[in-house]
Amino acid sequence: MIVQKNSRRDVTVIFDGSFNGFLCIVYAYYYGKISPIIIQRENQAQLTLDQEIYEVATDNHQSTRVLKGMREKISNEATNRVYNALLSYEEDKYMAIFNYVLLGFSIGHMVDSHLQEDCVREVHRLSKRVGGETHLLLGFSRFAETEGGVLYAVITPKNDVLSLVADHFSRRLMNNAWIIHDKSRNQAAIYDGNSYIITKIPGNAVVNYAEGEKEIQEMWVTFFNALAIDARKNPKLQRQMLPLYFRKNMTEFNKLH
């Protein structure tokens, strides 16, 4: 993509918050002659009367073109960084990610070496934090068996990492049907043994566990406690390795959710 030196309109962009929607903002910059000065999600937008609002609709054709361009003209690694950074819970992330993409189209695969640029450092920071939380969840997620034989796990991540967690378990537990429930956002990844979908889940949804599941979890808690050596307990180090907000969903600390 080549930036044409034509006049652009400074606008506040509103979009649906999705990865594809964000790619459509990039498309609108190159082909719609807009210059975003603020980028906000629809349900988070805070507008003033002196702003020109430009609503970007998600279009699969446009997002596919931009995605293809990013992979070919920047790099797969940079594209993955953008995807991860967009999953961050931080609401002021969009302009930095947008500027990172524009810089990438300008200088190509060397973009990640330009750490003197604020947008590059910020995308690296956001992506690293999202990746770090995902890595911890892959180790700390606990599955329980339901009455129907489906495995069920609860997570409450700070970042919107359900898709990354689901990608991992669709390979790791490919022969089992499972549900990973993100209670922070009332959504769940549902895997049927072949593929998964991510869908909204009511906040009052009830899970019926299989007979004997409670006893199995109690045995696991007993085993976990038996391994602990009082003389070697180090709560400060444990909190560093296992943040407190993960523990409410772990069998070792709470048994059934």
Domains of the chain by residue range? 9-132, 141-254
Distance of CA 9 to the CA centre of its chain: 31
Transcribe the chain into DSSP letters: --------EEEEEEE-SSHHHHHHHHHHHHHS-EEEEEEEEGGG----TTPPEEEPPP-HHHHHHHHHHHHHHT-HHHHHHHHHHHTSS-TT-HHHHHHHHHHHHHHGGGGGG-TTSHHHHHHHHHHHHHHHHHHHHHHH--EEEBTTS-EEEEE--SS--HHHHHHHHHHHTTTS-EEEEETTTTEEEEE-SS-EEEEE--TT---PBPTTHHHHHHHHHHHHHHH--GGG--HHHHHHHS-HHHHTT-HHHHS--
Q: What is the CA radius of gyration of the chain?
A: 22
8 A C-beta contact, residue 152 and residue 146: yes
Label residue 212 left, alpha or beta by phi (over 0 means left) and psi (-120 to 50 means alpha). left
pLDDT of residue 202: 84
Q: What are the Cα distances from residue 223, in Å, to 115, 197, 231?
A: 47, 35, 18
pLDDT in tens, the chain (257 residues): 444 455 788 999 999 999 999 999 999 999 999 999 999 998 776 666 677 899 999 999 999 999 999 999 999 999 999 999 999 999 999 999 999 999 999 999 999 999 999 999 999 999 999 999 999 999 989 898 899 899 999 999 999 999 999 999 999 998 899 999 999 999 999 999 999 999 999 877 888 888 777 766 666 566 556 666 666 666 666 566 666 666 677 666 665 54
pLDDT of residue 235: 64
How far is residue 10's CA from residue 51's CA, in Å, rounded to a whole number? 9
State both tokens at 116.
Answer: 């003197």
pLDDT of residue 225: 61
Amino acid at 55: E
* Tokens 């330009």 sit on residue: 114
pLDDT of residue 197: 96
State both tokens at 43.
Answer: 């349900």
How far is residue 99's CA from residue 210's CA, in Å, rounded to a whole number? 50
* Tokens 């596919």 sit on residue: 64
pLDDT of residue 254: 67
Give first-to-last CA distance, the chain, whole Å: 50
